[in-house]
């Protein structure tokens, strides 16, 4: 045990995560603890030694982020002022290490850690849909426990009682299966507040737009691809050059809700956006590089603040810390 703690605290991110876990446990009013959230994931997907409790199947990457000229006008965050190295990870939603790449009803994930130097970092953790499926951590647990029963009537009843929980699946099933991790829009879902050097604040949501455009597969094409084509597709694509995304900020306005990740802002697709910079993914990295830490949605930096009234946002980083501790302890 002692050996593990020393190993864990050698990783700055984890020590930060542990501090986050402590603070948010108190603020969650203890209805769904970080361990409850991870246990609920394990209840559906099983425990997989050394692996993430969610977004288990994925590919670790390295690259660069180059900010736009407009980015510092919105936020004084250091990575929005000068180019920085990044570690990134593409993933599939859920805790199944063998999740099929060709499923339509699953999110793709893109997490990015911006290296700010001297051991400091900031992260964004996004999915291929602009909303999440529950508005509170308690409902996250309730939903997964319902799924774990396998009782279709109970699952139907959950959706009947929580119609907002159908929005994510409706989004996914109205979009084609992404033909590539590099060919789909990713969204930050939560509302963040940017503050610039003059102290001016602006609420934003992240959207990452692929330079390759949206690349979709028809149901027949997806079926023909089989369950494991993303890794090979990405390897071939990277052999020809970097995979790039435009990181953009969708601008919020007075009165936009920031407390419910199941809801989009009114007319969100037609809001003004500001380009923040280019994420350039250059190479596939060993899994061990990404497995040594967590990408934490709450790992923000001066100039960027997470929503203070969004209970899902508050619950995420502490749950990620629990998942990290467990996977490091159980790693073969």
Among 20, 52, 96, 165, binds ligand HEM (CB under 6 A): 52
The per-residue DSSP string of 299-332 comes to ---TTEE--SS-HHHHHHHHHHHHHHHHHHHH--
Residues in contact with ligand HEM, counted by CB under 6 A, come to a total of 30
CA 140-42-187 angle, to 5 degrees, is 50
- β-bridge mates for residue 250, sequence order: 205, 273
Among 54, 61, 276, 301, binds ligand HEM (CB under 6 A): 54
- 112 belongs to the binding site for ligand HEM (CB under 6 A): no
- β-bridge mates for residue 66, sequence order: 278
**Phi and psi dihedrals of 106, rounded to 5?**
-140, 150
- β-bridge mates for residue 178, sequence order: 216
Task: Name which of 196 and 233 has its Cβ closer to ligand HEM.
Answer: 233
79 is catalytic: no
Residue 210 token pair = 């692929």
Question: Least distance to ligand HEM from the beta carbon of 58, Å?
Answer: 5
- 91 belongs to the binding site for ligand HEM (CB under 6 A): yes
State the binding string over 13-42 for ligand HEM (x if CB under 6 A, else -).
------------------------xx--x-
- 125 belongs to the binding site for ligand HEM (CB under 6 A): yes
- 250 belongs to the binding site for ligand HEM (CB under 6 A): no
* Alpha-helix runs per DSSP H in 28-122: 34-45, 71-74
Helix pair angle (137-149, 311-330), 10° resolution: 60
Residue nearest to ligand HEM (CB): 109
- 57 belongs to the binding site for ligand HEM (CB under 6 A): no
- 281 belongs to the binding site for ligand HEM (CB under 6 A): no
Among 140, 192, 230, 245, binds ligand HEM (CB under 6 A): 140
What are the residue numbers of the active site?
55
């Amino acid at each position: 045990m002692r050996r593990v703690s020393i190993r864990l605290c050698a990783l700055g991110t984890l020590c930060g995560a542990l501090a986050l876990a402590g603070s948010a446990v108190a603020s969650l009013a203890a209805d769904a603890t970080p361990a409850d959230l991870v246990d609920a994931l394990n209840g559906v997907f099983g425990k997989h030694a050394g692996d993430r409790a969610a977004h288990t199947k994925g590919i670790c990457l390295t690259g660069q982020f180059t900010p736009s000229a407009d980015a510092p006008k919105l936020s004084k965050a250091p990575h929005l002022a000068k180019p920085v190295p990044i570690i990134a990870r593409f993933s599939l939603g859920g805790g199944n290490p063998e999740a099929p790449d060709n499923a339509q009803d699953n999110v793709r994930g893109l997490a990015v850690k911006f290296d700010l130097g001297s051991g400091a970092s900031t992260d964004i953790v996004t999915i291929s849909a602009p909303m999440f499926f529950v508005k509170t951590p308690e409902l996250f647990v309730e939903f997964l426990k319902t799924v774990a029963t396998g009782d279709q009537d109970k699952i139907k009843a959950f959706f009947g009682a929580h119609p907002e929980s159908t929005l994510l699946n409706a989004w996914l099933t109205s979009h084609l299966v992404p033909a590539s991790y590099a060919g789909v829009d990713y969204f930050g879902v939560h509302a963040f507040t940017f503050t610039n050097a003059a102290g001016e604040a602006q609420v934003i949501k992240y959207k990452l737009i692929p330079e390759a455009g949206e690349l979709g597969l028809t149901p027949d094409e997806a079926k023909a691809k089989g369950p494991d084509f993303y890794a090979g597709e990405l390897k071939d694509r990277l052999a020809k050059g970097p995979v790039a995304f435009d990181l953009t900020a969708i601008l919020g306005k007075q009165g936009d809700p920031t407390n419910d990740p199941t809801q989009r802002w009114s007319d969100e697709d037609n809001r003004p956006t500001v380009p923040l910079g280019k994420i350039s993914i250059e190479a596939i990295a060993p899994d061990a590089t990404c497995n040594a830490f967590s990408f934490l949605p709450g790992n923000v930096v001066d100039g960027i603040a997470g929503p203070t009234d969004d209970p899902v946002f508050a619950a995420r980083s502490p749950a990620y810390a629990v998942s990290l501790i467990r996977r490091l302890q159980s790693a073969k």
